[in-house]
Amino acid sequence: MGLIDKKIIDNKRTSRLFWNNTAMVVFFLCTLVGLLVLAMLIYDTLNDGLRFLRWDFITNFASARNVEVSGFYGAIIGSLWLMLVTAPVAIILSVSTALYLEEYARKGRVTDFIKINISNLAGVPSVVFGLLGLGLFVRAMSMGNSVLAAGLTLALMILPVIAVASQEAIRAVPSSVREASIGMGATKWQTVSRIVLPAAIPGIITGIILALSRAIGETAPLVVIGVPTTLLRTPSSVMDPFQAMPMQIYSWVKMPQHDFSDLAATGIIVLLAILLAMNSVAIFIRNKFSRKY
């Protein structure tokens, strides 16, 4: 190898290393910006809301007059009721849809068209789903502003998100695993239920975490449906009206008194704590299946 060729190779190696290091620094700065913004938001929320964070805040209903006795109890219970409707409906429908499209449906233009439209639905603004829920569940099916109407609306909203994530997780399972199962004499359903689905569970759970995190903090669909911001009772069935944590926070933010804005920050802290608890359970399940498969 000549001296000139060696010099050209060294220059190319130096150029590649330069661009590699530049890309690493850019990605690190982007990550750092996101973390700094998140840290500022958390600090501001904690700084404003910690003074109202006490047990009475968890056990009292909301008050529009006295900030000292106002609480988050009705909103917490209402949101838990809401998730009890939203989560099973969305998970069952979306995962079943993903399994059918990836494992049973014939490959062709119709299947591709359905997949594209499911992906497009994942980007539709939440207020559009609120209008759909208002027209279909609240008015056409006469459910009113009940837990069931709101839960079904949010389930439709997050269904595409879970379906797309589930499709990707199922698609990532090697085809050789399916072929080996069928070669051993297993039926299609046995292969899907005992091999494909358990192997895809970690990716599916990731999609569920993202979707439910979005659903529990959504306000626009609930505003459109007409969920009350103040309600001095908790639901006893899915047909009862209810409060929700995002709606109560939204109501406090609109009030002119500054103390209610701080109370909204306290509500955000509780919402984040419940969200982290839900995510922790989901991550535990995901990690357990990841180790097993």
> What residue segments make up the domains of the chain, in order of their start?
3-52, 57-292
Q: Is 118 helix (H, G, I), strand (E, B) or coil?
A: helix
pLDDT of residue 6: 61
197-216 vs 73-99: helix crossing angle, rounded to 10: 140
Q: Closest Cα partner for 214 from 147, 149, 142, 123?
A: 123
* Whole-number Å distance between alpha carbons of 261 and 188: 56
pTM of the model: 0.85
* Tens of pLDDT, residues 18-55: 788 888 999 999 999 989 998 998 898 888 888 888 88
Residues 270, 245 contacting (CB under 8 angstroms): yes
* Tens of pLDDT, residues 129-173: 999 999 999 999 999 889 999 999 999 999 999 999 999 999 988
Collect all residues with Cβ–Cβ distance below 8 Å to 186 and sequence separation of at least 6. 194, 195
| CATH fourth-level superfamily of 57-292 | MetI-like (1.10.3720.10)
Per-residue pLDDT of the chain (293 residues; tens, 9 = 90+): 555 556 666 666 777 787 888 889 999 999 999 899 989 988 988 888 888 888 888 988 887 778 888 889 999 999 999 999 999 999 999 999 999 999 888 888 888 888 889 888 888 889 999 999 999 999 999 998 899 999 999 999 999 999 999 999 999 888 888 888 888 888 888 888 888 888 888 889 888 988 988 898 888 899 999 888 778 888 999 999 999 999 899 888 888 777 788 888 999 999 988 888 888 887 787 777 766 55
